[in-house]
Amino acid sequence: MEIVFLGTGAGMPAKQRNVTSIALKILSKGAIWLFDCGEGTQHQLLHTSLKPRKIEKIFITHLHGDHIFGLPGLLGSRSFLGGEEPLTVYGPPGIRSFIETSLSVSSTRLKYDLSVVEIGEGTVYEDDQFIVEAKRLDHAVLTFGYRIVEKDQPGTLLVDKLMALGIQPGPIYKRIKSEPTVRLDDGRVLDCSEFIGPPKKGRIVAILGDTRPCENGVALAKDADLVIHEATFEKKAESLAAEYFHSTTRQAAEIAKKANAKALCLTHISSRYELKDNPLLEREAKEIFPNSTVAKDFKKILIPVKKDRH
C-alpha cells in the first residue's frame, strides 16, 4: 500500500498546494482508490505515474467544493483516456445529484459503468481483502472519515520444512496451503497448519478529512498504521480552527496519540502557511506525537507489509 498526496491545501488552490485529494495505491491489485477530488486533481495526476483508468473507487468525505469540484472533470477524462473498467463513487447524500447534474449539463458521456453510493455510518465497502468503514466527523456540513482495514492474510508456506521431509515443490504445495489435511502418495497424512507460517496482520489507514477534534476521529484512527488528519491551522489558532470547524496541528497529534496510532501525516494546510512553514507545523505535532510529518503535494508514504506475527 502506498499513499500519494495529490493536493494538501485547504479551501482553494494556492501556488504551493493544490486542494484536497489523496490516492491510495493497492500494489497487490494494481488499483487506485481516491479520497476526495478537489479542483485540479486531474492536473495533479499528470505529474505522477498514476493512471486515471486505474482508479476504481473514489471516496468523498463531504460536499464542500475544495473536495469535489475536480470530480466531473476527472470522470470525463478517465473515459477519454480509455478507461473502460467500472468505477464507484462513495459519498454523503447529495453526491449523486452533483455528479449526474454535472455530467448531464456538460453532455459528458462515459464509456464505463459509473456507480454512485450515498453512504451513512458503518461499513461502506468490503471485499476479500479490505473493509472500509465510515464515521461522521465534526464539520460544518455532513462529513465522513474513513478507516481502511486490510484483512489479515494467511501466513507463508514453510517450504524449508516441507523440503526437509522430502516433499518437493508441485501441485501438492497448493493443496497444503488450501486444505486442512493432505494425504501423500506414501500414505503419510499432513496436518497442513504445521506448514503454514503465522498470519500476516493487515494494515490500517485512517483518513480524517475536515473536522474539529472528536471521538469518532479517535475510533477511526485506533491502532492505525497511518493516520492522515487535517491540520488547517497552527496550534495558537485553536479558537479560529474551532470557529471554522477545523483542527490544529496539536489537536491532530492528540487524536493520533489517543488512538495509539503508529504514524501521523498532517494535510489540508491553510494557504496562510507556505512550505517553509512545514518545519514549524511538524514540530508542533511532534511535541505531542513524535512520529508526525506534514504532507506536501506529491509526497509518498509506503505502508509496508507487516512481518509475520509470533
Distances in Å between the alpha carbon of 277 and those of 144, 251, 280, 281? 28, 18, 5, 6
Q: Is 308 annotated as a binding residue?
A: no
Q: Is 310 annotated as a binding residue?
A: no
Buried-state track 168-198, b at ≥16 Cβ within 10 A, e below 16: eeeeebeebeeeeebeeeeeeebebeebeee
Cβ contacts of residue 253 below 8 Å, gap of 6+? 264, 284, 285, 286, 287, 288, 289, 292
Q: Is 229 annotated as a binding residue?
A: no
Q: How far is CA 240 from the centre of its chain?
A: 28
Reduced to 3 states (helix: H, G, I; strand: E, B; else coil), residue 211 is coil
186 is an active site residue: no
- For the chain, the distance separating the N- and C-terminal CA atoms, rounded to the nearest angstrom, is 23
Q: Is 43 annotated as a binding residue?
A: no
Buried-state track 243-260, b at ≥16 Cβ within 10 A, e below 16: ebbbbbbbbbbbbbbbbe
Other CB atoms within 10 A of residue 104 CB: 9
Interstrand relation of 204-208 and 144-150 (parallel, antiparallel or unpaired): antiparallel
Which amino acid is located at 226 in the chain? L
CA angle in degrees (0–180, nearest 5) for 37-40-46: 100
Residue closest to 212 by CA, chosen among 246, 236, 240, 253? 246
d(CA 177, CA 54): 31
Q: Is 62 annotated as a binding residue?
A: yes
Spot the catalytic one: 36, 66, 138, 225: 66
What angle separates helix 249-258 from helix 278-286, to the nearest 10 degrees?
Answer: 40
| Annotated binding-site ranges | 62, 64, 66-67, 139, 210, 268
> Annotated active-site positions, please?
66
Binding residues for Zn(2+): 62, 64, 66-67, 139, 210, 268
